[in-house]
Structure 1
Amino acid sequence: MADHYFTATPSVASRPGEVRLHADGVDLTLATDTGVFSGGRIDRGTRVLLDAAPMPPVRGPMLDVGCGYGPIALTLAARRRRLPVWAVDLNERALGLTRANAQRAGLGNVTACLPDEVPADLSFAGIYSNPPIRSGKPALHALLLRWLPRLMPDGRAWLVVAKNLGSDSLQRWLEHEQGFPTVRLVSEKGYRVLEVAPREP
């Protein structure tokens, strides 16, 4: 496939499908398609993140960065139906799927949009991401530096990264170069889940 899943408008022909998502009391059937991240199945890293990452320690909006067709955002929304969940992606096909999946599941607390459409003054109690590592280190760092500063003072972010794709070096970069206190929450199935706290004032 010439496109990557982080292409804004995938050129690959649409081939709709479905996957089932089971995650700690959440049972959803999600529409998928070609040209989006892990369209044929729930990615293993996403499963590790959903199993390991808790709800935020404070009450407030939540954010799924790089939402794809919505498995993380919809799981969060199903677990906290009274809290807003923002789902951002550059991929228009992915955003359309997230919106359709939220409507199908009756999850009116999900807003799927482009990053620039998130209100600039909005802070988040929890940020969750299976980030696009293959977009390259500069793009990944820019993505994280865009969103992590928007954590509420007592909020947390959870990132899942494959060990062989640089999870340990990313942890060092976040903590030692960028000042975000970061701990390894779990290491499972070749993936690390990193828990990131806001920078010290």
Structure 2
Amino acid sequence: MTQRGVAHCRTMNPVTESEHYFSARPSSAATDRVVEFTAGGVDLRLDASAGVFSSSRLDPGTAVLLRKAPLPSGDGEYLDLGCGYGPITVTLARVSTGRVTAVDVNDRALELVRRNADSNDVGDRVTAVLPDEAPKDRVYDEIWSNPPIRIGKDALHVLLLEWLPRLAHGGVAWLVVARHKGADSLASWLGTHGFTAVKHASQKGYRVLRVTRAADRASEDPHS
């Protein structure tokens, strides 16, 4: 098995991935792939396919996020925003006893998440849905995301302002963003929109941001 946080991929039918990973219905033929990696001391083997984000390997940013952010261990409601084929989703479900909601706009990705959850014996605690299918009133103890930077800054801001307010009181979001793709400016922007974003860790050009509600911090300050 590979070293922790490093993925090895066996590609069964290699193809060129020309589609953006945020296509709702990829037009390329589904091509079976297997991605293997270790996270939180758990060995994982996941199915992937063409037309899904980083289907040939564990994305380096995701690897940094799973290596550097503290993985949950107990009960809770967790969200994987932009789940792809499910490396974060399945990891969270395997290392904890909580429930994980996996959200993506890509139908093929959601099918893979369901398959991977079942094959890793966590299918009863994983729900994979399109954004509009997620309950509007559900709040999450933790939100995890390797956010889709390629959709553009404005669209990314809209996405985050839609989902980060669903953090439960005292909840935390863990985001990974490449430094050269605006991690520091994103942290500053979040600070102007009701959140506190601090750099938790850095590795291989990526920042892991710990994001909380600014109101939560203020309510804990007896002098506020």
TM-score above 0.5: yes
1:186 matched to which residue of 2? 201
SS at match of 1:45: helix
Of 99, 115, 125 in structure 2, the residue corresponding to residue 84 of structure 1 is 99
- Percent identity at matched positions? 53
2:76 corresponds in structure 1 to 60
Where in structure 1 are there 5+ consecutive unaligned residues? none
Deviation of 1:139 (Å): 1.2
Cα distance in 1, alignment partners of residues 73 and 81 from structure 2: 19
- Segments of 4+ in structure 1 off by > 6 A? none
Task: Evaluate the alpha carbon distance shift between residue 111 and residue 171 of structure 1 in structure 2; reply closer, same or farther with a 3 A threshold.
Answer: same
How far off is 1:53 after superposition? 1.2
1 or 2 for the larger relative contact order (CA 8 Å, sep ≥6)? 1
Asked which structure has the greater CA Rg, the reply is 2
Q: Which amino acid aligns with 1:133?
A: I
Task: Report the TM-score, using the length of structure 2 for normalisation.
Answer: 0.85
The answer as to whether partners of 1:55 and 1:126 remain within 8 angstroms in 2 is: no
Question: For 1:64-75, what aligned pairs fall within 5 Å after superposition?
Answer: 64-75=80-91
Structure 1 length as normaliser, TM-score? 0.95
What's the CA shift string for 1:68-109, capped at 9, x where partnerless? 0000010000011x3110000000000000000000111021
Q: SS at the partner of 1:68?
A: coil
Output the amino acid matched with 2:209.
L
Q: How does 1:1-150 map to 2 (within 5 A)?
A: 1-55=17-71, 60-80=76-96, 82-107=97-122, 108-150=124-166
- Which secondary structure does the structure 1 equivalent of 2:85 belong to? coil
2:147, 2:197 → 1: CA distance?
16
Matched residue, 2:12: none
Letter in 2 for 1:186: A
Aligned residue type for 1:101: N
Shift of 1:119: 1.1
Aligned length in residues: 199
Alpha-carbon distance in 2 for matches of 1:151, 1:58: 17
Q: Which runs of 5+ in 2 are unaligned?
A: 1-16, 217-224
